[in-house]
Amino acid sequence: MTCMKVRFAPSPTGELHVGNLRTALINYLFARKKGAQFMLRIDDTDTERTSASFEESIRKDLKWMGMNWDFEDRQSKRLHQYNAALERLVRDGRAYACYETSEELALKRRSQLASGRPPVYDRAGLELTSSEKSQLHSEGRRPHWRFLLEHSKVTWCDMVRGETAFNMSSLSDPVLIREDGRVIYTMASVVDDIEHGITHILRGEDHVTNSAAQIQMFEALGGQVPAMGHVALIAGAGGEGLSKRLGSLSVRELRSEGFEPEALASLLSKIGSADPVEVFTDMNSIIEGFDITRYGRATAKFDVNELSRINRQLLQTYPFEKVKKRLIDCDIGGDAFFWEAVRGNVKNVEEAKIWWNICTDCIEPVITEPSLTEAAANLLPDGKLDSNVWEDWISKIRVDTGVTGKSLFMPLRLALTGLKTGPELPALLALMGRERILARLRGDFA
């Protein structure tokens, strides 16, 4: 039985943004759900924009997400395979040389559009004689190579879109290799998919037209056409497109802002599908519920505010041991009691530092009701303070001052923390200590 294989094939020409990551995640989830292999292929033939730092960033992002790959390859090591594939296509009459410059091609397109015709390449390269080609060579022209499409209908049953069909006469013959010798994704991807035994291709719907042409290319190169699924793209909260060239919503940026990988996976795995967005605490739970057929055709919106909500909910489930090292790295000396007291009031782990400083360092208290806070100081129980003394202390303050509700709690919170919102005050008493509480209630910097 043939092993299922999927691949994620990023170009290291920019930071990985959430749209790219979603494609990687869908492939990863499919592989783990189906017992398939997940491949990382670095598509690095764009030598002008490829960067080793971008590649390292991509790898770091995937590892941070916990998306480990089973095997990998890179296109820059496979140039001889692409040249061999081109030679085969030329020999079989499925590839031909063209000599137009980019300016000449642009002029042709403008002319076609102006006359109301679709901007489809006119196959002028096929009409060139040997002498004409020799003359062009002598002038210093170098050819780019195109794949000769068969003008038939290409159909396939898409795992997301269902029955999909393209009339190939409406498409230009795709470029395979540029005049500078650089191989284009269209052919390199097919050659790699054949040789690596890729059985399923899952990618964005912006590749649907490419897929139609590549199906013919798979057949021309004697390869088995993989099953295909094209997922609708995602946009930003305002409907704007995502682009790594613009650095929009890069994974590195989200990571630096303290978002958890499980929060990102929870959101990206469900938006655009028929399933509700849920908070998943581990990747295995997401894998278990994954179904590629649940994705729809509508563009989904990625909202950072929704990601923030998921992140907060996720942190509330985190035990101390999961964040202990990160708290230490942030110079937070808190224990499990501290983390459990503040985790419901932080948007990321690093933000716990704010509450550690409030509980253990000096702050300037905000005194809005001096008589109330002075009474609270006088009534503060002796001995060790913890959450168990809270109710008795508050009851005594109510009786002594006649103040209740928000009018009682807000002045106490402002005096003890300097802030209007935050963790429950009973849990903070033991962390602050009696002397610090007394000083703050009396308006002292403590």
Residue pLDDT, tens place only, 326-352: 999 998 887 899 999 999 999 999 999
Q: Is the pLDDT of residue 243 over 60?
A: no
130 has a pLDDT exceeding 60: yes
Q: Give the per-residue pLDDT at 387.
A: 82
Question: Is the pLDDT higher at 245 or at 255?
Answer: 255
In the chain, pLDDT over 90 holds for what percent of residues?
89
Tokens of 294: 């649940």
Q: Degrees (nearest 5) of the Cα angle 123, 127, 129?
A: 145
pLDDT average, residue stretch 175-195:
96
pLDDT > 50? residue 246: no
pLDDT value at 245 more than 50? no
Q: Indicate the domain borders of the chain.
A: 1-75+151-169+181-317, 80-150+170-177, 320-360, 370-441
Q: Which amino acid is at 87?
A: E
Q: Which CATH number fits domain 1-75+151-169+181-317: 3.30.450.30, 1.10.730.10, 3.40.50.620, 3.40.640.10?
A: 3.40.50.620
> What architecture is the 370-441 domain classified under in CATH?
Orthogonal Bundle (1.10)
CATH class, 80-150+170-177 region:
alpha beta
Say what the pLDDT of residue 206 is. 93
User: What pLDDT does 242 receive?
Assistant: 62
In the predicted structure, residue 239 carries a pLDDT above the cut 80: no
Give yes or no for residue 244 having a pLDDT over 50: no
Rounded distance between C-alpha atoms, residue 446 and residue 428, angstroms: 15
Mean pLDDT of 262-278: 96
